[in-house]
C-alpha cells in the first residue's frame, strides 16, 4: 500500500540504508539509523577518501550556488536535497542575495520532515516530497510552483543525486525534461560520482542493499547530461578543482566526483 504521493505507508523505511542518511552519517550528522551507520562504515572501508569526497562535493555546491546567485538568479530548485547540513542552500544563497527563493525536493520522508522543521517560518522556501524519476511531477508540483516562477531564470541543483538513477530510469531523459522546463538564463548545477580515478566496485556493493543503487558514470557520460547547455569555465571538473576558494585538500586527485555548472542560453 502507498500514500497518494506514491510513498509507502509508514513513511520512513529503517530496514535498509538510505543514501541521504548515509551521507548525513559520513558528514557527522545525527539524522540516521544503525543500518545507515553500518553502510557508511562499510563505504568508508571500501573507499577511505569518501569523507573527503563528500565534504568536497558539499563545498562545490556552496561555490556553485554563490556563482549562480551572483549571476543574477533568484530562484533555486534543489532536487535530491538530502538531510539539512548547515550551511544549507538557502543560507548560502542568502549570503549573496536575501531575496532568493528555494524549493527543496527529496523522496525520503525523513528528509522532508527535517527540512520542513528547519524552514518553518521562512516563507520564501518550500519542501516537497517527490521523486526525481518522475520529473514532470516535480515541475508541476503545487508547492514547487508556489516558490518557483518558471517564466524567470532558475538554478536547477542536481548535486550528488543523478548517480542514484539507473540507466533504465533514463538519467539523460530526466535531466532534459527538467532543463526543458526552465527559461533561458537558467543554470544547471550537477555533480556525479565516478570510478574514473579509482576502482569503486566495493563501494557500489554497499549501495546494492540500500534504497537506491550507486550508478557510477564516466566523464563522457556525465558530460552528456549537460547537452545543449553552455558549461561555465572550467567545464566539467573534479569537484575540488571547480573554482576553488582556497587550498585544494590533499588527495583531491582521487576524489570520485565530477561537478559542473552550465547556463541555458536563449
Say which residues have a Cβ less than 8 Å from residue 246's Cβ, sequence separation at least 6: none
What 3-state DSSP class applies to 92?
helix
Mean pLDDT of the chain: 90
Q: How many CA atoms lie within 13 A of 123 on its CB side?
A: 0
- Whether residue 77 lies inside any domain: the answer is yes
For residue 240, say if its preceding peptide bond is cis, omega within 30 degrees of 0: no
Model pLDDT for residues 114-171, shown as the tens digit of each residue: 777 766 656 678 889 999 999 999 999 999 999 999 999 999 999 999 999 999 999 9
Q: Give the structural domain span for 147.
A: 19-242+253-263
Split into its structural domains, the chain has a count of 1
What 3-state DSSP class applies to 185?
coil
pTM of structure: 0.91
- Whether residue 80 lies inside any domain: the answer is yes
- Whether residue 38 lies inside any domain: the answer is yes
pLDDT of residue 266: 73
- Whether residue 127 lies inside any domain: the answer is yes
Model pLDDT for residues 115-128, shown as the tens digit of each residue: 777 666 566 788 89
CATH number of 130's domain? 3.40.50.150
Of residues 114 and 4, which shows the higher confidence score? 114
Closest CA to 237 of 262, 214, 213: 262
- Whether residue 89 lies inside any domain: the answer is yes
On whether the CB atoms of residues 128 and 103 are closer than 8 A, the answer is yes
- Whether residue 1 lies inside any domain: the answer is no
Percent of the chain with pLDDT over 90: 68
On whether the CB atoms of residues 266 and 185 are closer than 8 A, the answer is yes
Model pLDDT for residues 51-67, shown as the tens digit of each residue: 999 999 999 999 999 99
- Whether residue 2 lies inside any domain: the answer is no
Quick check: 208 pLDDT over 60?
yes
- Whether residue 98 lies inside any domain: the answer is yes
pLDDT of residue 83: 75
Amino acid at each position: 500500500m502507498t500514500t497518494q504521493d506514491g510513498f509507502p505507508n509508514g513513511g520512513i523505511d529503517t530496514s535498509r540504508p538510505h543514501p541521504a542518511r548515509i551521507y548525513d552519517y559520513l558528514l557527522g550528522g545525527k539524522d540516521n539509523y544503525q543500518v545507515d551507520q553500518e553502510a557508511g562504515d562499510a563505504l568508508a572501508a571500501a573507499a577511505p577518501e569518501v569523507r573527503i569526497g563528500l565534504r568536497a562535493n558539499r563545498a562545490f555546491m556552496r561555490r556553485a550556488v554563490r556563482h549562480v546567485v551572483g549571476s543574477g538568479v533568484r530562484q533555486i530548485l534543489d532536487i535530491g536535497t538530502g538531510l539539512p547540513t548547515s550551511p544549507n542552500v538557502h543560507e548560502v544563497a542568502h549570503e549573496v542575495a536575501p531575496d532568493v527563493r528555494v524549493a527543496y525536493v527529496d523522496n525520503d520522508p525523513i528528509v522532508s520532515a527535517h527540512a520542513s522543521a528547519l524552514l518553518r517560518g521562512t516563507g520564501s522556501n518550500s519542501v516537497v516530497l517527490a521523486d526525481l524519476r518522475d520529473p514532470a511531477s516535480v515541475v508541476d508540483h503545487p508547492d514547487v510552483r508556489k516558490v518557483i516562477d518558471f517564466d524567470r531564470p532558475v538554478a536547477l541543483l542536481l548535486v550528488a543525486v543523478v548517480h542514484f538513477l539507473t540507466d533504465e530510469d533514463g538519467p539523460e531523459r530526466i535531466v532534459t525534461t527538467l532543463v526543458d522546463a526552465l527559461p533561458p538564463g537558467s543554470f544547471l548545477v550537477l555533480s556525479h560520482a565516478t570510478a574514473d580515478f579509482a576502482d569503486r566496485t566495493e563501494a557500489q556493493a554497499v549501495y546494492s542493499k540500500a534504497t537506491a543503487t550507486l550508478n557510477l558514470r564516466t566523464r563522457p557520460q556525465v558530460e552528456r547530461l549537460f547537452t545543449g547547455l553552455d558549461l561555465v569555465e572550467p567545464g566539467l571538473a573534479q569537484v575540488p578543482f571547480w573554482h576553488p576558494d582556497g587550498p585544494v585538500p590533499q588527495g583531491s586527485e582521487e576524489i570520485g566526483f565530477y561537478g559542473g555548472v552550465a547556463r541555458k542560453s536563449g
